[in-house]
Structure 1
Amino acid sequence: MSSYNVRSPRADEFINHEEIFDTLAYAEAHKNDAALARSILEKARANLTPAHDHGTTLTHREASVLLACEDPEVNAEIRQLARDIKQAYYGNRIVLFAPLYLSNYCVNGCLYCPYHAKNRDIPRRKLTQEEIRAEVVALQDMGHKRLAIEAGEDPIHNPLSYILESLETIYGTKHKNGAIRRVNANIAATTEDAYRQLKAAEIGTYILFQETYHRARYEELHPSGPKADYAWHTEAHDRAMAAGIDDVGLGVLFGLEGYAYEFAGLLMHAEHLEAVFGVGPHTISVPRVKPASDIDPDAFDNGIPDEMFEKIIALIRIAVPYTGMIISTRESQAVRAAALQLGVSQISGGSRTSVGGYGEETRPHDTEQFDVSDTRTLDEVIGWLMDEGHLPSFCTACYRAGRTGDRFMEFCKSGQIQDFCQPNALLTLGEYLCDYASPAVAEKGWKMIDTELARVPDDRRRALAADYLARVRTGERDFRF
């Protein structure tokens, strides 16, 4: 039987089943120990003052104790600490992105995904390069600067060459003042050589959801296809980082297995990346199972009520304070509003989860991967974020300036990243307001920029940002710190 080893290259050792069960047993035994819970929270409070050594990260076991805790006062303290830590690391900024589905051809048999190979009800579609250009123009005309490309796993229809060509098309498409400045890739686990090619194509973050860390459940849910290999899938982030991809993103699909198990496994994966590469996950996503073609979420008996879902988000923020946290349009406006207060720092806006469709006025549903709960336009989302006190950001400066991987983490963990992110958020919001915003959102946005600009602490940066913003209003673009 494998034993737990956070530095091991083997999935069964760095995500160790027995260690998770021991952790859950410990958490259950101590769930009513308010003194222990408060001592763990006290340890985490050191993250309110980010430091270079970042020596106060909670372990998966400590965080699991907090997850199990039923004391209402402690749970209220958890929520408040999550808010405060998010503010310490990321301020009130919220980064916007959109998914772009390239193809829903897939050879895998995943039981929770409508793209599974046996689904004969869903039309199969793959975008041509001309269609990708049209989609990118439509996304640019909405105001997006950052995309996450998605594609099913199919070596015939979606080979690596297709992904690489699509990346070149996306980066090479310019319309009016629009440009996609960062493309993250959410595609199937692959080889080190393929990851090196993706790195050379200048992807941003490589994102791969584990779906579930419970190996037996994983194998049950993946009866066929390359993705059925648990170890190959779980060890993919190691191969990506070994190949030179600086930033990787984790995530589980909550609802497939018990949430406490998934929570512990997710944190163990973050600990593993930190231990081996010195860089934890750049992002952590928190999707939940949702209805889709040939998929009934009620078939999975591990659904999470909103209150527990919010607590999980809060504890991820506390336990992995440096990570960017992502929530998609799978969730409703109300759930997303709560999540933004508790630690989420990136959201999608105006999203389509179909293959193509951004250029169509009516939202297509026949090729959707999942139902979209938040169907508002990007402009409506921007206005709402500002009403909620958040600063919308389209910033991609760190990636283009080489502040990735351990270099980004050095700035983030020390709290210095705000010196770059705050003025860059203002500049990219200014671009959006000039080029794409409705009059009401533009008026609201420039008032917010004036307020936020006054809060930039460094006199030189504040003056330079003010100069750049004035030049943005006269038509210049792409200033960055």
Structure 2
Amino acid sequence: MSSVKDWTASVIKQAEIDKYLDGGKDFIDEEQIFADIEKHKNPDKQQVRDILQKSLDIKILTPAETATLLNVEDPELLHEMQEAALEVKKKVYDNRIVFFAPLYLSNLCVNSCKYCGFRAENKDEVRHVLTMDEVRDEVAAVIDEGHKRMIAVYGEHPKNGADYIAESISTIYSVKRTTPTGNGFNNIRRVNVNAAPMEIADMKKLWRAGIGTFQVFQETYHRGRYAELHPANTVKGNYRWRLYAMHRAMEAGVDDVAIGALFGLYDWKFDVMGLVHHAWDLEKHFGIGPHTVSFPRMQPAPGSFLSEHSPYIVSDEAMKRVVSVLRLAIPYSGLIVTARENPVLKRDLINHYGCTQTDASSKLGIGAYAKKLKQEENPDKVQFMLGDQRSLDEVICELANDGMITSFCTAGYRCGRTGDKIMNLLEKGVEGKFCKLNAVLTFREYLNDYASPETREIGEKLIARELQEIENMPFFTDKKLLPTFRSYYDRIARGERDLYM
């Protein structure tokens, strides 16, 4: 294309929106959402308990059932919801917490989102797209922390389009680092992607490059508010192009997709309902819902007045409600809480409300990992400010002390347990059993190769309890999994790496 303007005009393919519409309408019926929220106020206790039981059976809730839970105010029922959310999490995912690192590869963007530091009008932002050599340097620094999973993040711009993303995915996978103890090598085993919505042909390029989960956040599902925040003359200003990004990804072969909303842009109850409607429409078209659901809360962004003065700022207590309702409404999906949140709230959401994934040692600046820069040292290259800048080891140590076992497992993806296969296994509580074994194997790697003395001491006690629990679970005996697991565990303890069930 001759210019960024020409490229921008060519991005949206209307036919790839229209094919998913039902009678010309999309799946967000605002009148119905508001009506459901209003209709189900002051819910009956037994009705709420019946809904909780449905969640415990690992069945996705209807929008009406979700609205009922959103309207619960009774302290006793709120406590029962929290307990049920945690029980659902343990039933599907056990006591695992999966870690990843975000890698921002570019802050070039053609869009004008009013809450974002990357928006095109922000003249204070120093723009840069990582070269492949710089990508290798960044990935090496991330691996040296002990990470094995990554979410690669890109702005929307022709210089970081599908071809660049595909090349960078391959580059990330190519980096291998000798472990500090000299026991083999460590590498990134799963590259998920957070990028702009794409046409089906471009999504196929990412699939061929080995993309893990594809993640696009709708930001807010409310059309009017969406239009206020995303000018109509930008690519992102097209609400439906973004709304059906996951549908196009699924059609292209990417069978693990992730949805989310940026809480603080609009009323949190409405956007929870939007996420549930999104999950239902994916189920309707493809038979499976989102692999993960995210609920980032808006944080201060350089040069953005709105990011600190939105009329919809979400309190800590409301965030706990968001997480508990999402865990109950879409029980099979992973829930991601990020380093946007402060350490106290993040720990609470993991331990008591059912979150299953988080990041640590995160740096949002372009090129910040290799240069070991904190966000205060490069605020001109970050999208927003973080609430938790602790190292991976510090967060692992804290959660291990809470009885949560760290997992870097990527086995399911490499064994073909993705898409509809993994959803079926999650609903039946089977995938969590394999994940428990692989969590122990990857935690053993981390303790051997990267853990501080304090983390190793706490981790050894935790892993001993996990091993005892595994030995006593009939599932592993019945499926004849224990001999292989024991062999892999011993081999990893002796220095082998990347063995999985």
The TM-score, its normalising length taken from structure 1, stands at: 0.94
- CA distance in 2 between counterparts of 1:433 and 1:406 reads 33
Aligned-residue sequence identity (percent) comes to: 42
Taking the TM superposition and a 5 Å limit, the aligned residue runs for 1:24-423 are 24-27=37-40, 30-47=41-58, 56-155=59-158, 157-176=159-178, 177-223=185-231, 224-296=233-305, 297-340=307-350, 341-363=352-374, 364-423=378-437
Please, which runs of 5 or more residues in structure 1 have no aligned partner?
1-6, 48-55
1:450 to 446, 464, 467: 464
- Is the contact between residue 31 and residue 66 of structure 1 (CA under 8 Å) also seen in structure 2? no
- Is the contact between residue 248 and residue 281 of structure 1 (CA under 8 Å) also seen in structure 2? yes
Deviation at 1:25, TM superposition (A): 1.7
- CA distance in 1 between counterparts of 2:22 and 2:301 reads 35
Q: Structure 1's 359 and 10: CA in aligned 2 closer, same or farther, altered over 3 A? A: farther
- CA distance in 2 between counterparts of 1:45 and 1:141 reads 39
Q: Structure 1's 170 and 68: CA in aligned 2 closer, same or farther, altered over 3 A? A: same
- CA distance in 2 between counterparts of 1:117 and 1:73 reads 48
1:141-189 Cα shifts (integer Å, max 9, x gaps)? 111111000011011x212211111111101111111111100010000
- CA distance in 1 between counterparts of 2:273 and 2:117 reads 27
1:473 to 493, 496, 500: 493
The TM-score, its normalising length taken from structure 2, stands at: 0.90
The secondary structure found in structure 1 opposite 2:427 is: helix
The secondary structure found in structure 1 opposite 2:370 is: coil
Aligned length: 464
Residue type matched to 1:421 in 2?
C
- CA distance in 1 between counterparts of 2:495 and 2:55 reads 45
- Is the contact between residue 170 and residue 210 of structure 2 (CA under 8 Å) also seen in structure 1? no
When structure 1 is superposed on structure 2, of 170-179 and 465-474 the one drifting more is 465-474
- Is the contact between residue 195 and residue 216 of structure 2 (CA under 8 Å) also seen in structure 1? yes
- CA distance in 2 between counterparts of 1:403 and 1:348 reads 23
Q: Structure 1's 416 and 42: CA in aligned 2 closer, same or farther, altered over 3 A? A: closer
- Is the contact between residue 101 and residue 151 of structure 1 (CA under 8 Å) also seen in structure 2? yes
1:220-273 Cα shifts (integer Å, max 9, x gaps)? 110142111111110111111011110100000001011111111110001111
- CA distance in 2 between counterparts of 1:34 and 1:131 reads 57
- Is the contact between residue 140 and residue 179 of structure 1 (CA under 8 Å) also seen in structure 2? yes
Residue type matched to 2:74 in 1?
D
- CA distance in 1 between counterparts of 2:131 and 2:383 reads 19
1:365-395 Cα shifts (integer Å, max 9, x gaps)? 3311111111110011110110111110000
Deviation at 1:472, TM superposition (A): 1.1
1:452-471 Cα shifts (integer Å, max 9, x gaps)? 01111213433432321221
- CA distance in 2 between counterparts of 1:149 and 1:400 reads 19
The secondary structure found in structure 2 opposite 1:354 is: coil
The secondary structure found in structure 2 opposite 1:455 is: helix
- Is the contact between residue 453 and residue 466 of structure 1 (CA under 8 Å) also seen in structure 2? no
- Is the contact between residue 241 and residue 248 of structure 1 (CA under 8 Å) also seen in structure 2? yes
Instruction: Specify the alignment match of 2:5 in structure 1.
Output: none
Residue type matched to 1:233 in 2?
R
Residue type matched to 1:161 in 2?
D
- CA distance in 2 between counterparts of 1:291 and 1:57 reads 34
Deviation at 1:8, TM superposition (A): 4.3
Q: Structure 1's 104 and 88: CA in aligned 2 closer, same or farther, altered over 3 A? A: same
The secondary structure found in structure 2 opposite 1:13 is: coil
- CA distance in 2 between counterparts of 1:368 and 1:404 reads 33
2:438 to 414, 418, 424: 424
- CA distance in 1 between counterparts of 2:57 and 2:133 reads 51
When structure 1 is superposed on structure 2, of 354-363 and 330-339 the one drifting more is 354-363
The secondary structure found in structure 1 opposite 2:390 is: coil
- CA distance in 1 between counterparts of 2:304 and 2:244 reads 27
- CA distance in 2 between counterparts of 1:100 and 1:218 reads 26
Deviation at 1:43, TM superposition (A): 3.2
Q: Structure 1's 225 and 32: CA in aligned 2 closer, same or farther, altered over 3 A? A: same
Please, which runs of 5 or more residues in structure 2 have no aligned partner?
1-19, 179-184
- Is the contact between residue 55 and residue 331 of structure 2 (CA under 8 Å) also seen in structure 1? no
Instruction: Specify the alignment match of 2:16 in structure 1.
Output: none
- CA distance in 2 between counterparts of 1:478 and 1:180 reads 11
- CA distance in 2 between counterparts of 1:11 and 1:117 reads 32
When structure 1 is superposed on structure 2, of 187-196 and 293-302 the one drifting more is 293-302
Deviation at 1:32, TM superposition (A): 4.8
Instruction: Specify the alignment match of 1:52 in structure 2.
Output: none
1:4-35 Cα shifts (integer Å, max 9, x gaps)? xxx846894311112212112213xx325334
